[in-house]
Chain A
Amino acid sequence: MTEESTPIGSIHVSPRAVATIAYHAALQSYGVVGLTSKNLVNGLTQALVKDPTHGISVEYDGNMINIDLYIIIEYGTRIKSVAASVMNTVRFQIEKALGMPINAVNVHVRGLRISDID
Chain B
Amino acid sequence: MLSDLQEPQRQDSTFDGPLDGQFLKLLLEASLTWLRTNQQTVNSLNVFPVPDGDTGTNMVLTMQAAYDEISASPERNFGKMAHMVAHGALMGARGNSGVILSQLWRGFARAVDNVEYLDATGFIHALSVARDTAYKGVVRPVEGTILTVSKDVAAAGEQALAKTDKLCDLLEVIVQEANLSVQRTPDLLPVLREAGVVDSGGKGLFFIFEGVFRFIHGQSLDAVVTTVQPLSSMNLENALETIEPGQDYEVVVDFQPYETLDLPSFYGSLQEMGTSIQVGEGDGIYRMHIHVPTEKRYHPIDYVMTVGTITKVAMENLLAQMGRIEPSCSENQNKVSPAPVDPGQIAVVAVAPGMGIARVFASLGANAIIEGGQTMNPSTQEIIHSFENLPTDKVILLPNNKNIILAGKTASELTVKKVAVIPSRSVPQGLAAIMRLVPDGDFDNVVHEMTEALDEVETGEITIATRNVEIDGVEVQEGQIIALLNGKLILSSQSLEDACLGLLEKAHADHFELITMFYGENTNKNEVYRIVDRVRIEYPKQEVEIQEGCQPHYQFIIAIE
Residues of A within 8 A of B (CB): 24, 27-34, 74, 76-78, 81-82, 84-85, 89, 96, 99, 115-116, 118
Contact = CB atoms under 8 A, between A and B. Distances in A.
Interface stretch (B96-104, B268-276, B442-450): B96-104
B103 A76 contact: yes
Contacts of B99: 30-31, 77-78, 81-82, 85
Contact of A85 (B96, B102, B110): B96
A67 B86 CA distance: 33
A33 B472 contact: no
B365 to A, nearest CB: 29
A30 B93 contact: no
A30 B174 CA distance: 24
Interface string B133-147: 100111110100001
A101 to B, nearest CB: 8
Contacts of A81: 93-96, 98-99
A114 to B, nearest CB: 10
Contacts, number: 72
A99 B485 CA distance: 12
Given A77-B102, A116-B110, A31 B137 contact: yes
A84 B94 CA distance: 9
B136 A74 contact: yes
Given A76-B103, A78-B93, A96-B472, A27 B98 contact: no
Contacts of B136: 33, 74, 115-116
Contacts of A30: 96, 99-100, 137-138, 147
Given A32-B138, A32-B139, A76 B106 contact: yes
Given A27-B139, A30-B96, 11 more contacts: A24-B140, A30-B147, A32-B138, A32-B139, A33-B138, A74-B138, A76-B90, A76-B103, A77-B102, A78-B91, A118-B83
A24 B140 CA distance: 9
B442 to A, nearest CB: 26
A15 B471 CA distance: 24
B109 A31 contact: no
Nearest to B201: A30
A27 B93 contact: no
A53 to B, nearest CB: 16
B488 interface: yes
Contacts of B488: 99
Contact of B142 (A28, A32, A34): A28
A76 B94 CA distance: 14
A28 B138 contact: yes
The 6 closest A-B pairs by CB, nearest first: A78-B93, A74-B137, A85-B96, A115-B136, A27-B139, A81-B93
A76 B142 CA distance: 20
9 contacts: A28-B140, A28-B142, A30-B96, A33-B139, A74-B138, A99-B472, A115-B133, A118-B83, A118-B106
A116 B93 CA distance: 19
Given A28-B142, A30-B96, A85-B99, A77 B137 contact: yes
Contacts of A74: 103, 136-138
A27 B106 contact: no
Nearest to B99: A81
B96 A33 contact: no
B109 A118 contact: yes
Nearest to B94: A81
Contacts of B95: 81, 84-85
B77 to A, nearest CB: 16
Contacts of A85: 95-96, 99
A28 to B, nearest CB: 5
Contacts of A29: 96, 138
Nearest to B138: A30
Q: Of residues B83, B107, B137, which shows the largest number of chain A Cβ atoms within 10 Å of its Cβ?
A: B137
B133 A116 contact: yes
B140 A77 contact: no
B537 to A, nearest CB: 27
Interface in B133-164: 133, 136-140, 142, 147
Q: Of residues B91, B96, B102, B142, which shows the largest number of chain A Cβ atoms within 10 Å of its Cβ?
A: B96
A34 B139 CA distance: 7
